[in-house]
Structure 1
Amino acid sequence: MSKVAIVTGGTRGIGAAISAALKNAGYSVAANYAGNDEAAQKFKAETGIPVYK
């Protein structure tokens, strides 16, 4: 069974660090964000983690 994590507020600050740590630990990660589209797209480009608003 695969490990999946959804991180709310996962594209900036502590949430971004948690998202990256979970990905490095082997989880399939999806990050949710509320408003900063530019920061979310930058996070996606840098980490490869999909983002959802």
Structure 2
Amino acid sequence: MDYFAENQTATAPELSRILHLTPANMRYHLANLRDQGEITVVDSLNVARKGRP
């Protein structure tokens, strides 16, 4: 949860690399956090991305 205090958004693959978990395992834990109301899922299409427009 400390990561979320410093970063408002993160992807499951990004968090899986940081926490050394598989992407599937990270999605499982994120789903639990979402179900408990600890995090909010944001549609990835609405998140600004780096790179070519």
Provide TM-score, normalisation by structure 1.
0.36
Provide TM-score, normalisation by structure 2.
0.36
Return the structure number with greater relative CO, CA threshold 8 A, min gap 6. 1
Find the structure with the greater CA-based Rg: 2
More strand per residue: 1 or 2?
1
